[in-house]
Amino acid sequence: MRSTNLFMSNVFKGKTILVTGGTGSIGSEIVRQLLTKDPKVVRVFARHEERHHQMMQDFAGEESRLRFIVGDIRDRDRLRMAMEGVDIVFHAAALKHVPLCETNPFEAVKTNIIGTQNVIDLARELDVDKVIGISTDKAAEPESVLGVSKLMAEKLFLATYFYKGNKKATFACVRFGNVLGSRGSLLPLLKKQITEKGEVTVTDPAMTRFVMTVPQAVGLVLRAVELSRGQEVFILKMPAARLGDIVDAAIALYAPEAGKKPSDIRIRIIGTRNGEKLHERLLAEYELGRALETEDMYILTPPEKAGLQHYAEVYPGAVKANFDKKLFLSDHTPLLTREELLTLIKTVTF
């Protein structure tokens, strides 16, 4: 995977920053990386009391620069209090699991759509400088409730162009692939199954997914603050992998750690779940015409503003995206080998 560690001016120095969903895998890594950039204070906003408590222990010694705020983005009054005086917002709070969103669609709407609208409204009201929303490749031509709700959240962010008025806040999104090792994701599940049951469950070994690590995902989020001029979607160019190969690599790594032979671990195929695609895509077909690319990312520019030529001048090294090889499709981009996956998975902690 290409590096995202290009030179970036310290746009966070001395700033007051709010991270919604700040106790989650992505949110807590955003906090961790922000603390290396000399902010004035980082406010961690999330619902889970126990995760707040754990994070307070993990970040002992940083009490002067951290504020832990228990709250829900569905609660506008509580969110307003958390956002007062904030310069930058990272909006990471969301319902993110495909099966749960399929069976609880009203809850997905309340959090992923209405909660996002709350973030937007209050950021405008309170004159926040920049807001970066975290989305997913499942928003590109979605089939699941999760994908539809995240696409709607993206469209809310992009639609701020139409009612900006005299407000200074700018909004942009980043799209993630599958974040290896994030809470509730595949690798922690596989490790638990290998350790406790000696059997892993797989939906479909032929599935392909774009993959990234938590630090890579957060690196993209932080870069978006510097790069964004408003209403863009930033998408890291990621490798893809077959689900069956991810499972084989996980077994090869985690079985010996559990005192078991990889050959003894059984694999049970359970079939795809409601809302799941066989393959993913980073961009929808209708988005291709307004996409730029750099060496390591795609930049989806807003259709309402100036043309691609203007935007290409804004982003260093950006050119009109070339999709001849269809590398934005997970079944067309080069797939990681099992050996490459094993090397990558060894770097993942959870």
Residues annotated catalytic, as ranges: 138
> Using CB atoms within 10 A of its CB, is residue 193 exposed (0-12), middle (13-18) or buried (19+)?
buried
Phi, psi of 170 (to 5 degrees): -115, 150
Dihedrals phi, psi of 239, to nearest 5 degrees:
-75, 165
Half-sphere exposure of 93 (CA within 13 A, CB side): 30
Q: In the numeric block, which tokens belong to residue 259? A: 């005192």
Place of tokens 């974040």: 179
Note whether 233 and 135 are within 8 A (CB). Answer: yes
Nearest to 204 by CA among 258, 110, 267: 267
**Quick one: how far is CA 325 from the chain centroid?**
25
d(C-alpha 268, C-alpha 258), whole Å: 19
Main-chain dihedrals φ then ψ at residue 104, nearest 5 degrees:
-130, 55
| Ramachandran sector of residue 303 (left: φ over 0; alpha: ψ -120 to 50; beta: rest) | alpha
Kindly report the CA angle at 89 between 88 and 93, in degrees rounded to 5? 165
Amino acid (1-letter code) at residue 56: M
Q: Are 273 and 243 in contact (CB under 8 A)?
A: no
- SS3 of residue 70 by DSSP: strand
